[in-house]
Each structure stands twice: as structure tokens, then as C-alpha cells.
């Protein structure tokens, strides 16, 4: 099997952007249903226009003052990327909840691009590799929510796409061929390129919980590997119709517990940030230093281990795993960059009724104040609907930047590329570039993107679009 040709160059959105050609609405029914999708396609909802980019970076300081000029010895210390919410999912699994799909909170229960999320993830990998060929990327943070429902086969597909070298077939149950012939539909095997740089995993609730909400137990293992779907899954024997009823069983759909999933990641390649001994703890926080620099990354596991989609940090875990990391970084004179799946304003008590309350939750304000109590915390990174950043101002403490990245599973499928500079003037500069994922030479991924465009302009799902001061920015902060 031959893979797609490598991409040698991709434009940043500072140069050019792609935007929907069709305005938002009117609604023509749920676009995720096969009977409605053609109505949108006929009216050009999935088409894109290429327009000039943002042209310049927007400079921002924590106190809204004019940033200083770069010093004579300013130098770039690191170039890294962050991509999350691939939502690589088994859209034929009996655990799917397509019949609950609706506008608002449940709009992601069913999406027209669902069967294409593997090839869209591969398009992200190809785009990252093109950026790496243009100028080396030191590492990429992948996550949270690489997966959709904590299934073994979903992680097998994700690891295959990120690693490359062997065919990946994102199909389960019956062997589907949506368009007769090889390599022309999302259920066909394809040969992924694999990332050219090291990557580190940021755990998300969909990676460790069934449907991002439910703990893996014997009943859910039986449901996932069984032959009956009660809440709606795709049946490609019926053109992708959402059904409740009998399906072809597949043991590869077994959902993994958090400890099992952590062990699977830790045992793969270089462990992607995790060790086998750590995987036994069930808590996936870890740190890593960038050699030759003052940069230390701290990846924080915010997944609720009692269920529910919201972020949960417990004080017992802060004291056992995180506070020692904060104190060590301060002693070592490291600039701390904190990464998590959930943003600060999605932390708190476990969501009920799908999650069980915990006795010692860290509140939103607690987390902001904790980060601010360490003057070497410069940036935090998390996921949101669209790109952006905010100045966090803990009471009586040093402000820091909170940076938010949008989902890869939804249009505009943008990568966030980060350059860390020692500005040689008492400041650290974080230059952030957004990049539209390229589907050049990949008609299957192009069809997936077209469906995602429809999802965002149909009024059925929200849009991940952002403003120039949210896409391409230069964030300044004083050195600690």
C-alpha cells in the first residue's frame, strides 16, 4: 500500500485562510442524517473560499501596555505544536448515542464528519509534518480527547495514525466499503505518514471515559462488545442510517479503564510522557524539561475518575502529584507551562448524574490562585470551542496567560503553532500561529472537511471560528 505524498509547505493563517462560502443557515434538518446531508450539499453548504490571511500578529501584554522592542540577543528557544479533540471514534459502536443528538449540549452525539475523523486526523499529521519540514518543531502535544469513547480499537487507530508505517483501517463490525474500490472512502485502509517529531499525550475525558462521561465497568464492556445498540449507532449496511437494534459484534471495541489506557500509551514507543510505573497510579500528570532552556512543561490530568465530562482535580492529587512539581520547578528556576484538557472554568465537582461527587474538589478559583501562587507559571494551555487567550489575575499574585485551543474534529480544523522566545529585554514572548489543516492530495479527507463545514454552517452545531486577535498573537510576559 502506498501512502499519500508528503506536503512540503502549508500556509499559515497569517498568509491565507479558508472560510465557508455559504453563510450560516437556514437549517435543512440534522446534517448528520444521511437523508438530510444531500440537501446541504446541493446548496453549496460545504464549499470553501480562500481569502487573504491576517497579515500581522496582534501583540498583547498582561497589563495592556505597548510591548518592548526585542533585545539584540533575542532568540527562539522552542517551536512546538498543540492539537486536541481529534475525537477518533468508532461510529458503529453499540455505545454510541446518536438518537440523543440535538442542538446545544448534545450536538456532538452525531456529526456528518464522524466516519472521516481518522482521515482528518491523518490530514493534521501531514500538515504538522509540512510545518516541521519548513522549520523544525521540537514536539507536539496531542490531546485531550484523542479518542471518542475510550475504546481499545479507537486508541489502536490513533496510535497507528500518529506513528505511521502500517495500514490503518478505521472500521469495526462488518467490513464496510462505502464506495466500491480501495482508498476512496473513510472505511478503507490507508497508510498514514506518522508524525516526524516526538509527541506527548494530554489525557482527556473522552480518552478515559465511555462517551466521555461513563466509567468502564463490566456492563459497559458487555455493551460495547455486544451485538445490540440501544441509543443509536451507524449502520453502513443501510447507508449510514442511525439505528437502534442488532449490530455486528466486535471484541476490539472493548472500552479500557483509565489505568489500562494509560498503560497502553506508556507501553507504546517512548511512552509519550508516561511511564509504566506511573500508569499503575491511574493519574496521568507528568512533567518534561526542554534541554538547554528554562522551559518545563507540566501536563495535568483533569479527567474525572468518578465519571462526568467536566474537569475534576482533587486536592489529594494536587498534593501527591502536582504540588511537588510546582515546588521543584520553582527551586530549579524553570519557567512553567501547564497543559490540561479542561480549562480553569470547567473545573469543579464531578458532573451528576453521570459522575459521582468527590470529597475534595479543586474549584475554578482554587486552581487559578494555585497557579498564580507560583511566580514561574507563565502560561496555561487548555481546549475550548475556539482559539483565544485571557490574562489570569490571581488575587495578590503574579498574572499569567491562559491559552485556549480549538478542536481538530470540527471546522476550521486549525493547528496551533507556538514559538517561545527569550526576548532579551526581561520578557518571554510566546508567538502563536494558527494553521488551517491541509487536505491537499487527499480527496477522502477533503470530503470529511466539507461535511464538517456543513456541520458548522447548518445552525446544528456551533462554529470554531475566531478573530485575528484570537488566532495569531504575540503574548508578552515578564520573566519570573
| pLDDT score of 103 | 83
Distance (Å, whole) CA 208 – CA 322: 20
Give the sign of the dihedral formed by CA 206, CA 208, CA 212, CA 218.
positive
Helix (H, G, I), strand (E, B), or coil: what is residue 99?
helix
Residue 304, CB-side half-sphere exposure with 13 Å CA sphere: 28
Which residues are CB-contacts of 361 (< 8 A; sequence separation ≥ 6)?
Answer: 312, 313, 314, 315, 347, 348, 349, 350
Residue 462 has a pLDDT of: 75
Task: Output the CA angle 430-435-439, nearest 5 degrees.
Answer: 160
Q: How would you write the pLDDT of the chain (480 residues) with one tens digit per residue?
A: 889 999 999 999 999 999 999 999 999 999 999 999 999 999 999 999 999 999 999 999 999 999 999 999 999 999 999 999 999 999 999 999 999 988 877 778 899 999 999 999 999 999 999 999 999 999 999 999 999 999 999 999 999 999 999 999 999 999 999 999 999 999 999 999 999 999 999 999 999 999 999 999 999 999 999 999 999 999 999 999 999 999 999 999 999 999 999 999 999 999 999 999 988 899 999 999 999 999 999 999 999 999 999 999 999 999 999 999 999 999 999 999 999 999 999 999 999 999 999 999 999 999 999 999 999 999 999 999 899 999 999 998 899 999 999 999 999 999 999 999 999 999 999 999 999 999 999 999 999 999 999 999 999 887 778 888 899 999 999 999
Residues with Cβ within 8 Å of 180's Cβ and at least 6 positions away in sequence, in order, are none
**What is the residue-wise DSSP string for 296-312?**
EEEEE--B-TTS-SSB-
With beta carbons less than 8 A apart as the criterion, state whether 403 and 88 touch.
no
- Which residue bears the cell 471546522? 411
Closest-CA residue to 369 (of 359, 380, 358, 360): 380
Which residues touch 175 (CB under 8 Å, ≥6 apart)?
none
- Respond yes or no on whether the N-terminal peptide bond of residue 280 is cis (omega within 30° of 0): no
Amino acid at each position: 500500500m502506498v501512502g499519500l505524498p508528503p506536503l512540503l509547505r502549508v500556509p499559515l493563517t497569517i498568509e491565507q485562510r479558508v472560510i465557508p462560502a455559504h453563510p450560516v443557515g437556514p437549517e435543512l434538518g440534522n446534517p448528520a442524517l444521511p437523508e438530510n446531508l444531500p440537501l446541504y450539499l446541493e446548496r453549496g453548504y460545504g464549499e470553501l473560499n480562500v481569502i487573504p490571511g491576517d497579515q500581522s500578529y496582534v501583540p498583547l501584554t498582561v497589563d495592556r501596555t505597548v510591548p518592548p522592542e526585542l533585545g539584540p540577543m533575542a532568540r527562539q528557544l522552542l517551536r512546538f505544536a498543540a492539537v486536541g479533540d481529534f475525537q477518533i471514534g468508532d461510529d458503529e459502536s453499540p455505545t454510541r448515542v446518536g438518537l440523543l443528538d440535538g442542538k446545544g449540549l448534545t450536538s456532538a452525539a452525531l456529526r456528518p464528519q464522524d466516519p472521516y475523523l481518522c482521515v482528518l486526523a491523518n490530514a493534521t499529521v501531514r500538515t504538522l509534518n509540512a510545518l516541521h519540514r519548513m522549520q523544525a518543531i521540537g514536539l507536539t502535544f496531542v490531546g485531550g480527547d484523542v479518542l471518542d469513547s475510550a475504546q481499545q480499537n479507537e486508541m489502536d487507530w490513533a496510535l497507528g495514525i500518529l506513528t505511521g508505517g502500517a495500514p490503518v483501517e478505521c472500521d469495526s463490525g462488518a467490513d464496510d466499503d462505502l464506495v466500491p474500490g480501495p482508498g476512496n472512502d473513510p472505511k478503507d485502509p490507508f497508510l498514514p505518514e506518522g508524525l516526524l517529531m516526538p509527541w506527548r499525550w494530554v489525557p482527556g475525558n473522552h480518552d478515559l471515559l465511555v462517551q466521555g462521561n461513563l466509567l468502564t465497568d463490566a456492563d459497559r464492556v458487555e455493551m460495547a462488545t455486544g451485538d445490540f445498540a440501544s441509543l443509536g449507532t451507524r449502520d453502513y449496511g443501510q447507508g449510514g442510517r442511525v439505528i437502534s437494534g442488532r449490530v455486528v459484534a466486535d471484541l476490539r471495541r472493548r472500552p479500557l479503564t483509565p489505568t489500562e489506557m494509560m498503560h497502553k500509551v506508556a507501553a507504546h514507543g517512548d511512552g509519550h510522557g508516561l511511564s509504566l510505573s506511573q500508569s499503575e497510579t491511574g493519574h496521568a500528570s507528568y512533567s518534561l524539561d526542554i534541554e538547554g532552556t528554562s522551559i518545563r512543561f507540566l501536563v495535568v490530568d483533569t479527567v474525572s475518575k468518578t465519571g462526568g465530562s467536566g474537569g475534576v482535580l482533587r486536592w489529594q492529587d494536587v498534593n501527591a502529584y502536582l504540588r511537588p512539581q510546582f515546588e521543584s520547578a520553582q527551586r530549579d528556576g524553570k519557567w512553567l507551562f501547564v497543559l490540561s484538557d479542561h480549562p480553569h472554568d470547567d473545573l469543579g465537582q464531578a458532573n451528576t448524574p453521570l459522575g459521582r461527587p468527590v470529597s475534595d474538589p479543586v474549584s475554578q478559583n482554587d486552581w487559578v490562585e494555585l497557579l498564580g501562587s507560583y511566580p514561574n507559571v507563565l502560561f496555561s494551555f487548555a481546549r475550548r470551542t475556539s482559539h483565544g487567550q485571557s490574562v489570569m489575575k490571581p488575587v495578590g499574585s503574579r498574572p499569567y496567560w491562559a491559552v485556549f485551543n480549538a478542536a481538530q474534529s470540527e471546522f476550521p480544523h486549525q493547528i496551533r503553532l507556538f514559538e517561545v522566545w527569550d526576548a532579551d529585554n526581561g520578557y518571554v514572548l510566546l508567538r502563536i500561529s494558527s494553521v488551517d489543516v491541509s487536505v491537499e492530495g487527499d480527496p477522502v479527507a477533503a470530503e470529511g472537511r466539507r461535511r464538517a463545514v456543513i456541520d458548522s454552517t447548518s445552525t446544528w452545531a456551533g462554529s470554531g471560528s475566531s478573530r485575528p486577535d484570537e488566532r495569531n498573537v504575540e503574548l508578552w510576559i515578564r520573566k519570573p
